[in-house]
Amino acid sequence: MLTRDFLRTADCKTAFGDIEESLLWSAEQRASSLAATLACRPDDGPVWLFGYGSLMWNPAMEFDESCPGTLVGWHRAFCLRLTAGRGTACQPGRMLALKEGGRTTGVAYRLSEESLHDDLTLLWKREMITGCYLPSWCKLSLDDGRVVNALVFIMDPRHPLYESDTRAQTIAPLIAAASGPLGTNAQYLFSLEQELIKLGMHDDCLNELVGRVRMLQEGDKPGPEMVPGFAC
């Protein structure tokens, strides 16, 4: 599991696996991206961060408050080819991102002003190793009725690691087989499933994917009734 200490000391060239040199962002590139994102901060209120994947069960940051919330206009999709962390170039998996359309439930974190720069620097080291996301400010509806401007990491469809085919039958074999220095790709998927269950959140596409991966790991093949008529 990623920790603040790990992120502080990690050498991005080696700690997450063998990342292709042309894709690896330097510390200067990450700092520039963070500065540009903060320059677009929509107001002078607290910074909220929306977690829809591993940030839900392992935020690894200081925060003053957390609250479930819903992001409209974007949906979860395993559309990022995973060649490090929980996959390799030879046995790539799939990482979660957001694609346009639909809605996503997750957890919003109100970050601490005292440690804001440190937390965001570590967050960029965690999420922007290859610059695969577009850090964006989005309106987020919290479950308690508040609407806040939140920082959201959305997939950049122009990135070389972007994959458009996110059908469960396509990505389940990849997730079932991939692993890397941070663990298995399937562990990531199952952790997300358990966190959604714990929070009372539902995601039909994720449930189908979880079922397929478990069947593959047990040595079974999904039957024709599992094949969806559309891409999730």
Q: What is the 3-state secondary structure (H, E, C) of the chain?
A: CCCHHHHHHCCCCCCCCCCCCCCCCCHHHHHHHHHHHHHCCCCCCCCEEEECCHHHHCCCCCEEEEEEEEEEEEEEEEEEEECCCCCCCCCCEEEEEEEEEEEEEEEEEEECCCCHHHHHHHHHHHHCCCCCEEEEEEEEEECCCCEEEEEEEEECCCCCCECCCCCHHHHHHHHHHCEECCEEHHHHHHHHHHHHHHHCCCCHHHHHHHHHHHHHHCCCCCCHHHCCCCCC
Task: Report, as residue numbers or ranges, the catalytic residues.
Answer: 127
**Location of structure tokens 């080291």:** 125
Residue the block writes with tokens 């692993």 = 179
Residues linked to residue 110 through DSSP beta bridges, in sequence order: 48, 65
Distance between CA 186 and CA 168 in Å, rounded? 13
- List C-alpha distances in Å: 157 to 57, 139, 200: 26, 21, 30
